[in-house]
């Protein structure tokens, strides 16, 4: 239950700190005094939308704190801080929290019936949720919705796979052609370089052989060969070394050079034996290179390695296109299993709704008749889509609630439903913001008594303009506005009792001008309770 509310720098409220008792709490005040502001501040701390425009002083933080008494003497403290830059901070028991966390928590702490909320009563979805709460189906419905969400997700997955498969089918022939072409090429790493070298040798084999033959002559000629000349130079240096010792190292170097040249000669002559002159082989190499060059040009690459990578990539794409079909088959099995599960859950929910509908109809009808609608008929029609409320205020044929109920009738029906929901859901606190709008006289009195009845089992806040309702609260708070010279208006709230409460009830009866008759009527109303 809400035990304390502290508000700082919110709208017309500068600073407010107020405690609340259990049971029925009445809040009244003239139009424009700030009752809705009070409710707005509470909604803010419960996870409502924040806006810096609500800051009374744009240089200070707005702080709203609500303390709730829980079972076994425990407390829950909710705090919302809005800074001048628009940043919002949330705390649960002084620990930072998220907006989602505080909203989820607030659902179990308080239910706020704001002005005109009774209009949602006409919506089919809301009517179905009421029946589900009454029948204790909220968990089952939540589980069904989670399962159905999975089913829809798998359906979307299958749709995506079908698109991918269709796209793969459109490109598969082209991919297979490209892959087959690269596969037939039997690509080998380093092949291009080897073929280019071989091509260069084959294309110039005659020139190579001629050059080798000439070098052989130069090495092995009888009179003017390189070897014979070096040997002659070596002999001369050895002879001179007997006269000039410094020539001995030169003779040795010439000897070493002659041996190195001999090795070079042997290698050149050996290479000459390996030179192939084959027009047929050259044609084969040219044709193979042409194939490789064409593939590289087609795929805009510069190496065999890149062609091999493309081939592997194409192979992977082709495998994936086959995997997509297998993936689709698996997804279809999951879809069918989820559909069967959803259908079974939906059938079970429908049967329980069907069984609970007459009981809910009876309870609502009896309670509504007690609120000055003695001939009212109420029925809950259930189909596979959900629940629809049918109503008739004066007997006769029932029609959809949205098409036949007036505002005052909707207010009474909503009050009855809120009472039922509080009973079955176990909500500790409920706030009614002018739920009695559109009613007056004896109807208002009976609605007040209904609210009092609800307040015996839970904490009820009733913001009202009706004296018949206001007179029945166990605690009464007055919201009013003060204006000091040179300052902006301020919203205040205070606890009233005794003569002060009598005067407030009288004001609600007669307006700002209090008469003895109004005061007397106010005392009667207060005493009647």
Residue 5, pLDDT score:
93
- Within 8 A by CB and 6+ apart from 494, the residues are 477, 478, 480
Reduce the DSSP state of residue 89 to 3 states and report it.
strand
| Distance set, CA 326 to CA 322, 336, 340, 496, 502 (Å) | 7, 16, 21, 75, 79
Q: Among 322, 353, 375, where does a domain finish?
A: 322
Q: pLDDT tens digits for 178-230? A: 878 888 888 888 888 888 887 887 888 777 777 778 777 777 766 667 777 88
Query: Would 255 be classed as within a structural domain?
Result: yes
Query: Would 135 be classed as within a structural domain?
Result: no
Shared domain check, 524 and 484: no
Distance CA 243, CA 464 (A): 139
The residue ranges of the chain whose pLDDT is under 70 are 115-120, 122, 173, 221-224, 271-276, 319-321, 425-426, 438, 485-486, 529
Shared domain check, 293 and 249: yes
Shared domain check, 205 and 316: yes
- CB–CB of 18/446 below 8 Å? no
Query: Would 30 be classed as within a structural domain?
Result: yes
Shared domain check, 318 and 181: yes
The domain in which residue 520 lies consists of 497-529
Shared domain check, 200 and 301: yes
Shared domain check, 492 and 518: no
| Listed residue (529, 503, 494, 483) closest to 27, CA to CA | 494
Query: Would 292 be classed as within a structural domain?
Result: yes
Q: Determine the angle formed by the axes of helices 304-369 and 407-425, rounding to 10 degrees.
A: 110
Find tokens 């798998």 and name the residue. Answer: 154
Distance CA 356, CA 144 (A): 18
- CB–CB of 505/526 below 8 Å? yes
Q: Among 322, 344, 361, where does a domain finish?
A: 322
Q: Among 322, 341, 374, where does a domain finish?
A: 322
Tokens of 120: 């949602």
Shared domain check, 23 and 2: yes
Shared domain check, 524 and 441: no
Shared domain check, 228 and 94: no
Shared domain check, 272 and 219: yes
Ranges of beta strands (E only) in 70-196 are: 75-82, 88-92, 95-97, 110-113
Residue 486, pLDDT score:
67
- Within 8 A by CB and 6+ apart from 381, the residues are 357, 387, 388, 389, 390
Residue 273, pLDDT score:
62
Query: Would 419 be classed as within a structural domain?
Result: no
Ramachandran sector of residue 47 (left: φ over 0; alpha: ψ -120 to 50; beta: rest): left
Query: Would 61 be classed as within a structural domain?
Result: yes
- Within 8 A by CB and 6+ apart from 177, the residues are none
Shared domain check, 35 and 172: no
Query: Would 368 be classed as within a structural domain?
Result: no
Per the structure, the count of domains in the chain is 3
Shared domain check, 437 and 313: no
Residue 56 half-sphere exposure toward CB, CA atoms < 13 A:
20
Query: Would 288 be classed as within a structural domain?
Result: yes
- CB–CB of 474/23 below 8 Å? yes
Find tokens 């919705």 and name the residue. Answer: 145
Distance CA 351, CA 234 (A): 120
């Amino acid at each position: 239950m809400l035990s304390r509310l502290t508000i700082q720098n919110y709208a017309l409220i500068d600073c407010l700190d107020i405690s609340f008792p259990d049971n029925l709490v009445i809040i009244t005040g003239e139009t424009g005094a700030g009752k809705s502001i009070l409710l707005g501040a509470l909604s803010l701390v419960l996870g409502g939308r924040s806006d810096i425009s609500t800051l009374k002083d744009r240089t200070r933080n707005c702080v709203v704190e609500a303390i709730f008494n829980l079972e076994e003497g425990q407390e829950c403290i909710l705090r919302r801080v809005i800074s001048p830059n628009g940043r919002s901070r949330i705390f649960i028991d002084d620990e930072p929290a998220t907006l989602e966390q505080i909203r989820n928590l607030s659902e179990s702490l308080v239910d706020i019936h704001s002005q005109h909320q009774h209009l949602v009563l006409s919506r089919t979805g809301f009517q179905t949720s009421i029946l589900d709460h009454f029948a204790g189906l909220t968990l089952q419905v939540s589980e069904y919705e989670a399962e159905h969400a999975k089913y829809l997700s798998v359906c979307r997955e299958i749709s995506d796979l079908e698109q991918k498969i269709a796209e793969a089918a459109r490109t598969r022939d082209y991919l297979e052609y490209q892959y087959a072409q690269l596969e037939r090429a039997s690509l080998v790493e380093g092949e291009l370089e080897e073929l280019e070298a071989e091509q260069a040798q084959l294309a110039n084999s005659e020139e190579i052989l001629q050059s080798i033959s000439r070098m052989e002559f130069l090495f092995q000629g009888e009179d003017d060969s390189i070897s014979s000349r070096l040997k002659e130079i070596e002999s001369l240096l050895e002879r001179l070394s007997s006269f000039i010792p410094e020539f001995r190292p030169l003779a040795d170097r010439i000897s070493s050079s002659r041996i190195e040249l001999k090795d070079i000669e042997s290698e050149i002559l050996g290479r000459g034996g390996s030179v192939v002159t084959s027009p047929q082989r050259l044609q084969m190499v040219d044709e193979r290179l042409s194939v490789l060059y064409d593939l590289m040009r087609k795929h805009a690459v510069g190496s065999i390695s890149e062609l091999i990578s493309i081939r592997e990539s194409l192979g992977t794409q082709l495998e994936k296109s086959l995997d997509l079909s297998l993936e689709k088959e698996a997804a279809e099995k999951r879809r069918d299993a989820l559909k069967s599960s959803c259908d079974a859950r939906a059938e079970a929910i429908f049967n329980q709704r069907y069984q609970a509908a007459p009981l809910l109809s009876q309870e609502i009808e009896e309670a509504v008749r007690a609120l000055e609608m003695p001939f009212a008929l109420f029925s809950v029609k259930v189909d596979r889509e959900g629940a629809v409320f049918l109503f008739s205020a004066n007997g006769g044929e029932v029609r959809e609630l949205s098409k036949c109920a007036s505002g005052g009738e909707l207010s009474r029906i909503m009050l009855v439903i809120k009472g039922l929901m509080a009973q079955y859901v176990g909500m500790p606190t409920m706030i009614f913001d002018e739920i009695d709008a559109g009613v007056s006289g004896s109807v208002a009195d009976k609605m007040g008594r209904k609210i009092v009845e609800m307040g015996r089992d839970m904490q009820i806040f009733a913001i009202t303009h009706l004296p018949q309702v206001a007179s029945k609260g166990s605690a009464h708070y007055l919201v009013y506005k003060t204006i000091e010279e040179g300052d902006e208006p301020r919203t205040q709230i205070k606890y009233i009792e005794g003569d002060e409460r009598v005067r407030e009830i009288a004001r609600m009866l007669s307006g700002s001008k209090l008469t003895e008759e109004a005061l007397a009527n106010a005392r009667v109303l207060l005493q009647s309770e």
